[in-house]
Each structure stands twice: as structure tokens, then as C-alpha cells.
Amino acid sequence: MGFFSSVLLLVLHLLQGSRTSLVQLNANGYEGVLIAIDPAVPEDETLITEIKDMVTTASTFLFEATEKRFFFKNVSILIPESWKNTQYKRPKHESYKHADVIVAPPTVPGRDEPYTKQFTACGEKAEYIHFTPDFVLGKKQNEFGPPGRALVHEWAHLRWGVFDEYNDDEPFYMAKSKKIEATRCSIDITGINRVYKCQENNCVTRTCRVDANTKLYEKDCQFFPDKHQTEKTSIMFMQGIDSVSMFCNEKNHNREAPSLQNKKCDSRSTWEVISNSEDFKGTVPIAAPPPPPVFSLLKISERIVCLVLDKSESMGNHNRLNRMNQAVKYFLLQTIENGSWVGVVDFDTTAHIKSKLIQIKSNNERRKLLESLPTEASGGISICSGIESAFQVIKEIYPQVDGSEIILVVAGEDKNIRNCMDRVKQSGAIIHSIALGPNADPAVTEMSAVTGGMHFYTTDQSESRGLTDALWTFGSGNTNSSQHSLQLESKGLMLSSNPWMNGTVTIDSTVGKDTFCLVTWDKQPPGISLWDPSGTPRGNFTVDEDSKMAYLSIPGTAKVGVWTYSLQAKANPETLTITVNSRAANSAVPPITVNAKMNKDTSSFPSPMIVYAEILQGYIPILGASVTAFIESDNGETEVLELLDNGAGADSFKNDGVYSRYFTTYQENGKYSLKVQAAGKAKTVMRSLRHLPNRGTYIPGWAVSGEIEGNPPRPESDEDTQTDLESFTRIASGGAFVISNVSKLPLPDLYPPSQITDLEATSDEDEIKITWTAPGDDFDVGTVEQYIIRISGSLLDLRDNFDDALQINTSALLPSEANTKESFAFKPGNLSEENATHIFIAIQSVDKSNLTSKVSNIAQVALFTPEADPSPGKSHPNPRINISALVLLVVGSVAVVSAILSATICILKKKRNAIRSKTGF
């Protein structure tokens, strides 16, 4: 047990962050940075040159911005298989799943804004950076600044979990100076606020007006920074300003501004967050300038996979051998892509090569591989023998095993597994592992972690689809998404009193090609009925009684709509399962996809975890879906959670296509597995074309001597633009994670309510109405006991001294269940602060155990309408006057002067004539 514990602790350490990035910090330099060019990007050698230039420039900028701490040491560029140049190396562990930067077509055509996919908490690593080819090629420098500087801005999101110091949703705020200011950091960035609109070549500039409702500038008002600045901060506001070269720190950070950084990071500056990172704590500044980055060009090539299957006596328990064979046959028949090379090895005390590498070109090769699976479980276990034999199989065709994949299925524990750990690390192969049952050797998880592979755990419950779902996940290699097998249904039931298992599967228009249906049983073949959307029966299932499975491949493209199935058990009790997969119907139309993950791979009780599921079509978020997480423990107990995209509780951003929820109901120590089911109904689910959070700073133009030098308008969809989507269903496996330190003793309430993050306020004469999403008794589950609402005339006082602020009477406010919308109206009374311009409001929640939440975000209502101020901060000479207006003014003035002169001359002439008539001259 001591050995198991030590190995487990090592695995827990290695797994931190291992799912997405291979980056390591070594002697102040980042190694293993991966930039992947999407398969949809046409071949362009210039793009590679520009990527190198971008990273080289960024490395120097990063080094100076971090006070001589960090730089890019080596970077790999992953090139699509479709590109014709053959001079590139084969990848080792690198794959699209590990990409730190993705160069791909824009999310919406014409929108080339860089962004970072970031939906975790402040200080936690993000997912990836997205650049478009046109951005990397420097075609968007006017709008977003130099690519190298933008890379440092996005790297700070990705690596250190900081947020932007602007806010597209709240571009202006009322400062304590009683002036409307642009949301920015630092406040010493100078500029002017203007409405600037162009139609064809005619541009009109005018002063911003104050909106009567918000008491801030109107919607079309923009902040135009002065082109010539001296201020050095901040990179997270607008890194495109020439003088900007640093992150905001504690001394110059603008804590008043409603920036995402202030909202997400408790008003800490970006440099404070970076300084608290593990990267920062483990380094000291270096004096010498860093060397330029070293680049490796890697090209995706044919996929090489060797299955390494346990057939030791451990596989004889709980029907494991047959369940493994069912899942592997499913993988071979449907999941693995055409063009892949596949071999099979099984092992007990020794290893046996069952099939050399075969390239899959048709169903003939797939069926031939099915003959290689083990039929009997017996003997000891030697995992290293299985891996060494896999290396041998691969080397018969490829002298190097770099970039090849080994899928290792293990149920037993092997005391000699460490004998080959160094060999595995140095091999260049990627090892994906599946631990089958509670006694599988934990060292296989370490093998996956150190080689960049994935790890899954599945229980011995017959109705569990964990093994099949895990093998489905391994089917998505470095290929275009149109080739990936997508799971539409994965369901299992243990039947006793009722022999029927009925259900439906929705085929949407983005899928339908190579649709495959698999049914399994434990005792006797069930009755199987399947009807297409028109009600036509679809039969002819191939029955494999030895493996206790039946399957059906639907030729061509499956009909769009709702398919219905009905399975009738012929034994009592009986366990039946059904799995349905399909591929993209059209390579030009991205299919809807679901990705699932936990926020971390390990947790120690009572630390909570967060479940995430992201639903996309291409890179476009999908909203309005019903998303359910199933979390299964070692003993087969399953916790069901509804995931939400409401911007409350665990969910960082509302309507970004990422659905989230806290997971706190740990029942036992050990391994857990995650599966997510997503479903969308027509007219309820939709694509969101709204701008993404954490998109790059767009420069609308520059202020030069008070004049606007405008850039082209930002390609923008209306903020509420959404397009309806048809019904769909998807299943995704989120891998395994480990929980430790769970006590068997009854424990007190350890979880407070989650922080309210969406508090909003409006005023109506002398009454203020506030709304927010209700938190729960335990984070986002249950109902809180009460709310504490406080107000102040000072934002900073309320934030820093909440307990001392004026409290509102909430005795009439009865809390609702978590995730429902709350509202409350009150009269603020008299504030003690003189010269207050706004009333600032915040809430704290209290649960039945008197545990309190963090103080909410701060909402505000204005006490008066301020006068429009043409410039924030410092004064600016020469405010711009519209040219047309200037011309009219000049012409009008000339006309007036001319009229006056004419009238004067006329009067003088009349007087002179009158004098002449009187004098006779």
C-alpha cells in the first residue's frame, strides 16, 4: 500500500495541467511551446516565416515586460498533413490537443481578432490562443497592433490567468473625480472620447453625449488613445501603444475601472497575479539578454496506433475481457480513421504480437484486425513486455517510434512496471491508458502524463459505458474535425422487472456520414428494433454472439431527424447498452462538438472541483443546450449534475458556450470518471455570433493633436445576434480524476455560498431595483439563508470595507433556490458621504451554518447626470471640429460680415447723398 501511495502522489503531481499543454519552464525559458496550424488553413510558407518573426519579437518583449524573467526558449510549429512540403520532421508527443496557439480561420468570417479561450478562475491557466492567418501575416496591425506584442498579451491570459483591463460591455465608468472615464489601466493613458462614424469616404466626428438611463456615454462613443504617449502600462489594456511595455502593478493599477481584471481578480493588478504564479516563484531575474527562440517544424503524418491489451488473470473478473473486446471492436470498426496504421499486442506474463501494423483502407482491414483480439484471460502480468512488443511492431515499418500512439488497457498491478519507465519517457511515443477496475496499476497514469497521452478510468459496472467511451475519445487524432467520429448516444441499463430499453437518437444535418450503432448484452441477444425519422424499420444488425454484441453501419448519409430504438432483454436480469456514432456529413460544414473536462486532475477534500463542457460548431459557441454531467466513482456510484452557462457560480462568462458547475459531493477516496451528455432542441438552441470574451484589444483609431485618425470599423455582429440551430445530441468523455483525504466521519458544513458575480442595479425616482442569480447553500447547490446588502457612495470603500458600509433592511427578502433570478427593490435613504456621485451596491450571502460568500461584484446607480466631458484624464488641445461644420461656419461668417459691410456702405451712401442735397454740392 505504501508503494501505491507514493506512486499515486507522484501521478497527482505529474497530471497537473497535463491535458492541454506540454510547456515547461526551464532556466527562465519556456520550452515545449506548440503552435498548431489548423488543417483548414491553405498551404502558405510565408505563414511559417511570420510565426517565427512573431514569436522572436514576442520573446524580447516578454523578457522586458516581466522584469527580465521569462522568454521563449524553444517552439514547435505543427503543420497540417495536407501541406505538400516533405522537409519537416514527424511530431513526437505534439498534437492539436496540446496546442498553446492555434492558427485557424476566424470564428466568424471577417473577424480576425485574436483571443484566448479562457473560462477558468483568476490565476488559472487558460486553454489556448486563437490567431487567424491574416493576423499572423501582419494584415491587421492597424487594428490590433504588432502580432508579437499581441502574443505577449494573450500569453498572459494563457499562462498566468490574468484578464483584460478593458471591458467591451462597460467601456466607460463614473470615477470618484465625478468625470466619466474610459475603462483602462493605467488611468494615465491619455486620449479623447468621440463618436466617429464613416460612410464610404465621409467620416463624421462629434462629442459624445450622456445617456439618460446609464448616466454614462452613449453606446457609439469610443475612447481614442493619443498616438504619442509616455505611459508604460499596461500590456493588458492596449499593448499596441508604442510606449506601453509593462503590466499594471499595485502602484499604478486603476481599481475603480469595471475591467474584467478587477471583476475576476478581486481588484488585484495583473502584475500582482503574475507575481503570485508558480512560474514567478520559481525564478529570479537574469542579467543577460535571452537567446532567440529555437524552432522545430513538425508535420502531421499517417497515424500509427498499437493496441496493447491486458489478458492476465485480472481480466477474467467482472467480465472484463469480453467488455474490453466489445470496446476494442467498436474502436476498430468505427472510431479509428481511414488511413491509420493499427497493430495489436496482448500480454500476460509475456507479450504476444497478434497483428503487425495494417493500414486501414476499407472494412476488410478492420475485420481482419478483429481476429487479433484475446479470447482467454490467464497468467501473470508484464506491462513492460507489452509496451516493448508495441515498439517492435511500430519499428517494423517506422524506424523511429516518435509520434506513434500506444493505447494501453490494464486491469492488474505490475510490481515491475518501473523497469521500463525511462524507456517510455525517451521513446517519443504517446501512451494513452485505460485503467479497468480499481486494481489497475496507477503507474500507467504516470506513463500517460509524461508522454502527453490521455488517461481514463472505468469501473466494473456492466452498464457503464466508460471503456467504450474512452476508446471513442482516442479516435480523434491530428485530423480535420470532419473526419472525427462523434458520439451521439451512449447508454446502459440493468433491466429486471421491465425488459424494455427504449430511446431516441437525433441525427442533425452536420453529421450522418458513417453512422454506426452498437448494442451489447451480458447473457442473451436482445430483440433489437430501429426506426428512421420516417418510421421505416432499419434492421440487418450483424450479431457477434461470442463477443455479445450486435452492430449496424448505415450506408451513405443517415436521414436527418429523430431515430427511435427499442431493445428487449431476453434474460432476467440483463444489462444492455447502446452506442451510436457518426461523422460530419459535409467536410465544408463543421459539425457540432462537445468537449468535457474537470478544472484539475486531482483534488484533496474539501477543496471543490469544477466540471466544464464546451459546445461549439467550428469555433462558434452553442447556447441554450441542456447539458448533464455524470461523475462515476470507484464503486459505481454516479453523481448527476446539470451544467449551466449562466455566468453565475462556477460559470465564468454567460453565454460563451461553456457550461459549468461545482462538484463537491465526494463519497470516497480514489478515481472518478466524467461523462457529459449535451442535447439541443430546435428553436431553443442557437449559435452565438456575439464577440467572445477576452478578445484582443481593437484600436478604433488614434488621437493626434485632438484630431481622429480612424481605423476601419471593427467587423461586428450585433451583440444579440444569434442564429437558430436544429435539434442535436452529443456525448463526450472527460477522462479520470483523483480525490483524496475524504473522511468517513460525519463532517460539518464546509462549503459557503458561491460569490454573486452578476449583480445589476437600476433606479426609478427614489427607489433602486437590483437583480442577480441566486447562489446556493453549498456554492451553487441549495438555498442560502439570507442576503446582506450594503451601499456606499464610494466604490473603493464598499469594496475594501464592506462590513462598515450602510446595510439595507432585507427582512422581506426570502432567498430562492440556486440559479434562479432574484430581484429586490429598496429606498437607499441618506448616505453619509458628501459629494457622492453614485450609489454603489454589493451583496454577501449567508448559509444556514453562518458561512458567508465572498462579496459580490459592485453595481451602481447615478445620483445625477454628469456633463459630457470631451476628454478623460488630462486636458487635450485642439479638439476636432467637423470639417463640414467648419466650412459652413466660415461661409456663414463671411456672409454675415459681407451683409454687415453692405448695410454699412449703403447707410453711409444714403447719409452722404443727404448731406449733398442739403449743401447743394
898 in a domain, yes or no? no
Kindly tell me if the per-residue pLDDT of 537 is higher than 90.
yes
Q: Which phi and psi angles does 65 have, rounded to 5°?
A: -65, -25
Same-domain status, 405 and 345: yes
Q: Give the list of residues 6+ apart from residue 498 with CB closer than 8 angstroms, or none.
A: none
Handedness of CA 121, 126, 131, 135 (dihedral sign): positive
13 in a domain, yes or no? no
More confident residue, 696 or 575: 575
Please report, for the domain that includes residue 725, its CATH number. Answer: 2.60.40
Of 79-83, 104-108, 383-387, which one has max mean pLDDT? 383-387
Kindly tell me if the per-residue pLDDT of 317 is higher than 90.
yes
Q: Give the list of residues 6+ apart from residue 338 with CB closer than 8 angstroms, or none.
A: 360, 361, 362
Beta bridge partners of 781: 778
Overall average pLDDT of the 36-41 stretch? 93
Overall average pLDDT of the 25-44 stretch? 96
Alpha-carbon span 217 to 223, nearest angstrom: 11
879 in a domain, yes or no? no
Q: How would DSSP label each residue in 224-278? A: EEBSS----B-HHHHTTSTT--B---TTT--SSS--HHHHHTTT--HHHHHHTSH
Mind listing the pLDDT tens digit for each residue in 198-210?
887 789 999 999 9
- pLDDT level of residue 475 (50, 70, 90 thresholds): confident
Mind listing the pLDDT tens digit for each residue in 750-788?
999 999 999 999 988 789 999 999 999 999 999 999 999
Same-domain status, 647 and 787: no
Same-domain status, 158 and 288: yes
Kindly tell me if the per-residue pLDDT of 879 is higher than 70.
no
Beta bridge partners of 506: 562
- pLDDT level of residue 911 (50, 70, 90 thresholds): very low
Q: Give the list of residues 6+ apart from residue 388 with CB closer than 8 angstroms, or none.
A: 351, 420, 423
Alpha-carbon span 565 to 464, nearest angstrom: 19
Percent of the residues in the chain that have a pLDDT greater than 90, as a whole number: 70
Distances (CA, A) of 880 to 205, 216, 224, 871: 7, 21, 12, 12
- pLDDT level of residue 523 (50, 70, 90 thresholds): very high
Which segment of 474-483, 890-899, 910-919 scores lowest on mean pLDDT?
Answer: 910-919
Same-domain status, 530 and 383: no
Q: How would DSSP label each residue in 310-321? A: E-SGGGGSTTHH
Overall average pLDDT of the 539-568 stretch? 94
Go through 669-689 and write b for each residue having 16 or more CB atoms within 10 A of its CB, e for each that does not: bbbbbbbbbbbbeeeebbbbb
Q: In the numeric block, which cell numbers belong to residue 187?
A: 488611468
Alpha-carbon span 508 to 83, nearest angstrom: 31
Overall average pLDDT of the 393-408 stretch? 92
Overall average pLDDT of the 475-495 stretch? 83
Overall average pLDDT of the 803-811 stretch? 95
Sheet containing strand 806-808, edge to edge, reads 806-808, 786-792, 838-846, 859-862
Kindly tell me if the per-residue pLDDT of 459 is higher than 80.
yes
**Pairing between strand 561-568 and 500-507?**
antiparallel
Mean pLDDT of the chain: 88
Query: Is 808 buried (19+), middle (13-18) or exposed (0-12) by CB count in 10 A?
Result: buried
Kindly tell me if the per-residue pLDDT of 263 is higher than 70.
yes
Same-domain status, 278 and 253: no
Alpha-carbon span 488 to 318, nearest angstrom: 27
More confident residue, 583 or 765: 583
Same-domain status, 241 and 317: no
Run of H or E residues at 150: helix 147-160
Pick from 691, 689, 684: nearest CA to 725 = 684
Q: What is the pLDDT of residue 914?
A: 43
Kindly tell me if the per-residue pLDDT of 241 is higher than 50.
yes
Distances (CA, A) of 342 to 425, 475, 481, 737, 809: 22, 12, 20, 28, 69
Query: Is 668 buried (19+), middle (13-18) or exposed (0-12) by CB count in 10 A?
Result: middle
Alpha-carbon span 152 to 717, nearest angstrom: 27
Mind listing the pLDDT tens digit for each residue in 622-679?
999 999 999 998 888 899 999 999 999 999 999 999 999 999 988 889 889 999 999 9
Q: How many CB atoms lie within 10 A of CB 817?
A: 12
Same-domain status, 221 and 286: no
Kindly tell me if the per-residue pLDDT of 344 is higher than 80.
yes
877 in a domain, yes or no? no
> Are the C-beta atoms of residues 32 and 78 closer than 8 Å to each other?
no
Same-domain status, 312 and 459: yes
More confident residue, 906 or 260: 260
Same-domain status, 519 and 507: yes
Same-domain status, 180 and 210: yes
More confident residue, 899 or 493: 493
Distances (CA, A) of 340 to 332, 335, 398, 748: 11, 11, 13, 54
More confident residue, 829 or 778: 778
Please report, for the domain that includes residue 542, its CATH number. Answer: 2.60.120.380
Which segment of 250-264, 499-513, 721-735 scores lowest on mean pLDDT?
Answer: 721-735
Q: What is the pLDDT of residue 14?
A: 36
Kindly tell me if the per-residue pLDDT of 292 is higher than 90.
yes
More confident residue, 878 or 720: 720
Kindly tell me if the per-residue pLDDT of 913 is higher than 60.
no
**Residues annotated as part of the active site:** 154
Q: Give the list of residues 6+ apart from residue 253 with CB closer than 8 angstroms, or none.
A: 185, 186, 267, 268, 269, 270, 271, 272
Which segment of 499-503, 632-636, 814-818 scores lowest on mean pLDDT?
Answer: 632-636
Kindly tell me if the per-residue pLDDT of 77 is higher than 50.
yes
Overall average pLDDT of the 386-400 stretch? 94
Q: What is the pLDDT of residue 921?
A: 33
747 in a domain, yes or no? no
Please count the CA atoms within 13 angstroms of the CA of 483 that sit on its side-chain side: 15
Counting every residue written for the chain, the total comes to: 921
912 in a domain, yes or no? no
Domain that holds residue 422: 302-465
Same-domain status, 107 and 212: no
Q: How many CB atoms lie within 10 A of CB 737?
A: 23
Q: Give the list of residues 6+ apart from residue 77 with CB closer than 8 angstroms, or none.
A: 35, 36, 37, 48, 51, 52, 295, 296, 297, 298
Q: How many domains does the chain have?
A: 6
Overall average pLDDT of the 897-906 stretch? 48
Same-domain status, 314 and 294: no
Q: Among 203, 229, 258, identify where a domain stops.
A: 258
Q: In the numeric block, which cell numbers belong to residue 630?
A: 455524470
Kindly tell me if the per-residue pLDDT of 526 is higher than 50.
yes
Kindly tell me if the per-residue pLDDT of 719 is higher than 70.
no
Overall average pLDDT of the 343-349 stretch? 98
Distances (CA, A) of 293 to 34, 48, 147, 278: 12, 14, 16, 22
Q: Is the pTM of this model over 0.85?
A: yes
715 in a domain, yes or no? no
Q: Give the list of residues 6+ apart from residue 120 with CB closer than 8 angstroms, or none.
A: 126, 161, 599, 610, 612, 652
596 in a domain, yes or no? no
Please report, for the domain that includes residue 337, its CATH number. Answer: 3.40.50.410
